[in-house]
Amino acid sequence: MNDFQKNKHLLEGYVGVKFHAVELSSALMSEAADLYGAFEAACNRLRSHGMTPANAGNLSVRHGAGFFISSSGCNLGCIEMEELIFVEKCDAEAEEVLYRGPSKPSSESIMHSLIYEHRPETGAIIHAHDEFATRPELLEGEVSETEREEAYGSIALARMAIETFKSKERIIVLKNHGYVAIGPYLHSACDLVVKTHLRLLGKAKGAF
């Protein structure tokens, strides 16, 4: 067991993916090695701001007709290359995800797929957490929030995210849950998350 594996934890109540995950191949795609540096850099930046609690959150990058995404149960604060899973196809209606890699893709894979479909300019997506994303009094005037709370990994949550992402919206908050940001690259999506986090942090401090 390496140092990364020793630090990995699952949040209480986490049950994994809620869709039918179909493994096309257990082999890690060679492109994962080229993308790992960008994933690791974004995760390290989120970790430096305390935004990588246990296995909460997920990242993805569009690749061809599919996308690479962090694996189910992945701890972003200590992500490994083997945790970059390629999602080849998603069927939201059938709640089915076809993937390539040694483990199942993130429980939010269908949400990422729908965002890529509805926002074709998007090249990367980050879903991250902090304490401020669950405080509506701080979010007002700062970032749009979904109308209601839905269970993580559900199709209802994925569709609620799409409804909240307006034509010019680049970051939203899933009610009582966390941020979802889009950008052409991981570092640009990460910029949005971190800047929003810091604004809300300043706002929270100003309330005392």
Tens digit of each residue's pLDDT (9 = 90 or more) over 18-28: 899 999 999 99
Identify whether 8 is part of a domain.
Answer: no
Stronger pLDDT, 60 or 206, i.e. the higher one:
60
For the chain, the 3-state helix, strand and coil shares in percent, each to the nearest 5, are: 35, 25, 40
Residue 174 lies in a domain: yes
Quick one: pLDDT band at residue 73, thresholds 50, 70, 90?
confident
pLDDT of residue 3: 45
pLDDT at 1: 37
Residue 51 resides in a domain:
yes
**Structural domain harbouring 185:** 13-206
Report which residue type is found at 72. Answer: S
Handedness of CA 43, 47, 48, 51 (dihedral sign): positive
Query: Considering the domain boundaries, does residue 106 fall inside one?
Result: yes
How far, in Å, CA of 8 to CA of 21, rounded? 22
> What 3-state DSSP class applies to 93?
coil
Q: How far is CA 148 from CA 5, 65, 145, 173, 174, in A?
A: 35, 31, 8, 11, 8
Q: What is the pLDDT of residues 4-19, one digit of tens each?
A: 444 666 555 555 678 9
57 in a structural domain: yes
What DSSP string runs through 144-174? EE-SS---TT-HHHHHHHHHH--TT--EEEE
The pLDDT of residue 172:
97
Q: What's the pLDDT score for residue 16?
A: 60
Domain count, the chain: 1
Provide the whole-model pTM: 0.92
Is 159 a residue whose pLDDT tops 50? Answer: yes
Rounded Cα–Cα distance for residues 32 and 35 (Å)? 5
Residues in Cβ contact with 30 at an 8 Å cutoff, skipping those fewer than 6 apart: none
Whether residue 3 is contained in a domain is answered as no
CATH number, domain with residue 145: 3.40.225.10
Would 194 be classed as within a structural domain? yes
Task: Please report whether residue 5 resides in a domain.
Answer: no
Token pair belonging to 180: 């979802």
Whether the pLDDT of residue 189 is over 50: the answer is: yes
Q: Looking at residue 208, what is its pLDDT?
A: 44
What pLDDT does residue 9 have? 62
Above pLDDT 70, what percent of the chain? Answer: 91
How far is 151 from 66, CA to CA, in rounded Å? 24
**Strands (DSSP E) found in 71-166:** 84-91, 96-100, 124-128, 144-145
